[in-house]
Every structure is written in structure tokens, then in C-alpha cells.
Structure 1
Amino acid sequence: MFHTLFLALLALSVTGCAHLFGDHGSARGAATPIDDGAATPDRHGQAPGYFRMRLGRFTLTALYDGSIEIPSTQLKGASRAAIDRALRIVKQPANVSTAVNAFLVDDGERVILIDSGAGAMQGDTLGKLQANLAASGYAPEDVTAVLLTHLHPDHAGGLIAEHGLAFPNAELYVAQAEADFWLSGDRLNTDQPYDQGLRRIIAEYQARGSFHTFAGGTPPIEGIESVVLRGHTPGHTGYFINADGEMLLFWGDIVHSPGTQFANPDITVAFDVDQKAARVTRNKLLRGAAQTGIWVAGAHMPFPGIGRILSVSNTSYRWLPVDYSQALAGPAQRQAAGR
């Protein structure tokens, strides 16, 4: 029945538009394209990956670094059948390509980058942040501070470029607990490529006195609050901004698989260092975000990664992405928190 109806509607739409075209399907009166020597636009790739939002005195720019594949076998905390069923419900394949987002915060005096993307550390599906930064109207030299949620390669790898520091005028900030985990103890003696690469990156910033640590829950810089989000890594950290009563939390890696973890926040990923703590943190944060209506910016949410959390039940949630047409409007012109 549905198939027959669909074909009938399709035939009607084609018939209704037929008067616009000649025998060969070309529009009547259409001008012949003129070759003026200009470069042909890419008709098969995506548009530049940046998105703008305004919150009070802050202009927020989401920057797309690319995507990373997370096989469903990396998801833990529920049965294989339950995870597969959750992915089918949201029409996602078993191996999901998940966005990697970073965020630029411009308050008119400072340009602050939350996470740096992967750079050249994780293959050619990532490393697009610099190109999208340029497309958004900023240069690497404009960035005055980089705040890292944690030191995994898809968040810290973009600190280095071929010529050296990717953001030559930036001060770098990392939670003390995160720095202690990655940059001291047994990890100093490992020969893993990422550990060695991370040490080289941090050493570059340390050499010029631009590497700073802070205690979890304290402001790394004026106007930006930090919050400890334990579980994914020992020093995994979120950042708050308060813009005239509108609050936004950059939550790093609280959610990697939106299709499964909103429906069941107990689901974790294999690379959560502390699975139990990550589960507890996610449940508390989703509940709190749904109750307060704060804005959330997620590193692995579908680009641009900005939205709000809605409760479906006491233990499940859904994502409400920011509306493009409202992103640059004031609070009165977009959906109010808690409505």
C-alpha cells in the first residue's frame, strides 16, 4: 500500500512539474553557463565545518575536525542485542562515524579554543580544524588560550602543526590530574607513539612557559569555570560559561554514541579509563542538564554539537540540537531553558 501510494505521489509531482522542462529535461530559457576561468566549486564535498552561536558577550564558533569510527563492539554496559537494537532504532550502522568537534569562544578581547582536534595524529578523516578555523574568519595566531578537556589524541593532537606550534600565541591549560596521569609515572617510560608525541607537544609549550595546570573545579582563566567529570580519563574536565544568565557547558567526552547513550546512559565505551565512574558521571550530568535546561557543547555530538537535553523518562534522554535560525538571536528569540 505504502509503495503504491509513494509511486503515485512521485508520478503526480513529476507530471505537475513537466511544464517547466523541454523534451530533454532542461529548464526552458536556462542560460548557457559561461566559462570565465573561475575555479569550479566542489559539488560533492561538505561545506566548511563551522557554526556560529551567540551567548551574551560571547560569540561561540563550533569547528568540525572530522569524524572517527566507533565500532559498536567498543560499547559496553549493555548486552550486544540491546546495543544493536538501539542502533537500529536510530538508523545507525554497527560502526558509527562520530563527529569530532572543538569550540572557539570569543569575548571581544580573548579567543579561547576548547580542545584542538587531532591534527595529523589519527588519519585523514580528522585534522580539518585548521582549514575550518580559517573558513570561519580566524587565524591560528588569533587564539590566545587553549583549554583541553583531556589529553586523548583527538583533543590534543591538533596543538602541533608541521611548522611547530599550531597556535603560536596561545597559553595551554590542562587539569592537574590529567597532566599527572599522562605526563608522569610509568607513562614517561612507554614507547607508545601517542605517549611520545604527547610529550613532545607539551614540551614545546613548556619550553616557552605556556603550559599551565589547574586544580579541578577551579577557574583556569577568568570568566571560564571548570568542572570535574570523572571517568573517561582521570582528569577529564568540562568548562562552563555564563552569558547573561544563559549557561553553556563544554562537556568533552560525556557522550560518544548519541544513538545509544541517551537512551541508556549506563552504556560506556571501551576507552573510558574508569567505566563505573564514567557511567555515574554521565547519568548525573544528563539528569542535571535536563532539569536546568543549560546549553551543552559536546565533542562527539553530531556537528555542530550544541544543544539541550530533554528527559524521556527518569533514566533516558534525547538531544535537542540548537536551531540554526535561532543561533545568533537573543534568549527571548529562542526556546527558553526549562520550557
Structure 2
Amino acid sequence: MQLETYISDLLYRYECVIVPEFGAFLTQRVSAKINADTNTFFPPKKAISFNEQIQQNDGLLAHYVADVEKIPFEIALEKIKKRVVSIKSQLVEKESISLENIGELALNEEGKITFEPFNHLNYLTDAFGLNIMVSPAISREEYKQEIESIEKVIPLTFTPERRKTRPYLRYAAIAVLALGLSGFLGSKYYVNQVENHNQIAQETANTQLEHKIQEATFVIENPLPAVSLTVTKPVGTYHIIAGAFRVEENCEKIVSDLKSEGFNARKIGVNKYGLHQVVYDSYEDRKEALNALREIRRNNNPHAWLLVKDLK
């Protein structure tokens, strides 16, 4: 079983992928960086880390494996468990485990799992198509020295004698300045005229609109009483599954019983096996859903599990 392939697929969409009884692979967004020494531009990415302490099964990985391989959820859990046992045995034998496109796992002297991520794959979908770019350095000082050397060979100066021999240049400059000033003033006057015209047109349009509204205003002598309806639409991507039933009538009874116990229970439709699914509740926040799942498993249903799915 290529477990790393399924983990890699989920890392594109989720910030945490838990491998039951082993650990969790976490992602964190890292902003774009520039290495001034090498003139290298690095695009934004997802940095991958591993936390051995997070081992509580949230159903995400097993549910994905079951969907891809078209097998029941329980069989997917069993396959993941066998793969985890194999990885742990290899680590105990002092062998490093290389997970394709994810990173390398090993045991340190204290018996803790160490993780070294691979950086050749970017899991941030927003940065798709952006690669590392190296830009040549800009040599501004070299151009400055080149210009200074040219000025030494060809000095750009004006002598007083030339200015005396060409007095018409002074008058031409004065004429250009006068034309520019008159053009600026004329342009400013034109802009002011346009703004005044637009303001007058806007005021006229507003007056006509108010007049039309007044003509269309009417009063109902006996208006109908207002009716207020409160509609609550369940939202959330994380759903705690209470059970799946072949007969839909059984769902109604379960939903009624769970609601009497204080849960926001409801039916969420038929899964790919033709079973009608009932949930305790749905959540938008992943941590809140996991806390609720642990509480339900402890007090109500030890077989409850978490479904991660956007319901249409």
C-alpha cells in the first residue's frame, strides 16, 4: 500500500493529515522570500512538519483511501494499520523511511521520530506554476563609472561667447514658457467647466428621480400582517456520523432520538454504498469537530466517526 501517495494528495487540501497510531503531517504557509546573496526568488509554499504526539484517528485518511480504492471504511483502516506496523518495525531496525514527495523519517538516540521534509514539491495550490527564479545582479556602480569616463572625454559646457552670439534662444525660451503657462491655465479652466456641467446634470437627474418616486408612492389601507420565518441552514465541512442505514425510515427514528438528547441531528443523504447517513452535527472548525467527536465517543457512541465533505 502506497500510503505516502494518499498523504501527499491530502496535503494539497488540508493543513493536518493524521496517520492513526503513528503521527500527523502538518502544513504551514510560508511567504515568498528573496536571498540577496544569490539573487534568488523563492515563491510562497507550504512547509511540512511531523508531530508524533497527534495520533487520534479523525477518519480523514481512511475515508480518502476507502473512496479511492472502492473499499469499506473498516478495511481501509486495517490496511493503514498494517502499513504503520511495517514502518515502525523498519524504524526500530535503524532504517530510515523515505516517503515519496513528503520527506524522510528516522529514529534518534532517544527513540523519537525525526522528520526531514523534501522541498522539491510545493503543496500550496495558490503558488501553482511559480518556480524558484534567479535574477542577475544589477551593476549600478559600473554604469556610473562608465558615464564619468565619457564626460571626461567629451565635456558638456557652454561658453559665454556662444550665449552672446545667439540671443534669439533666450526669446524662444520665453515664448515656450508663455505658451506652456497659457495652455495650463486654459486646460484648468476647461476641466472646471466640465466639472460644473457634470454637477448640474447630476443635480437635475436627482431632482427628476425624486419627483418620479413621489409620483409612484402609494399607501395600503389594510396591510397584511408580517410573517417572520427563521430558517437555519446546517453548514460545515466536518460531519460526525452517527450511523448509516439501508432503510430510510430507520433514519427518522434515529434523528428523532438524537434530537431529544440535545444533538443537532439530521440526514445528509445517501453514500456510495446506498446507505442513508445520519449525523450528530456539522462543524466548520476542524478542532471543534474533533473535540465533539471525542466527547460523543466517550459518552454516546464509540463507533462514531468524522466525515470531511462539502455537502451541496
TM-score, length of structure 2 as denominator length: 0.21
- Structure that is richer in helix per residue: 2
Higher relative contact order (CA 8 A, sep 6+): 1
User: Is the radius of gyration larger for structure 1 or structure 2?
Assistant: 2
TM-score, length of structure 1 as denominator length: 0.20
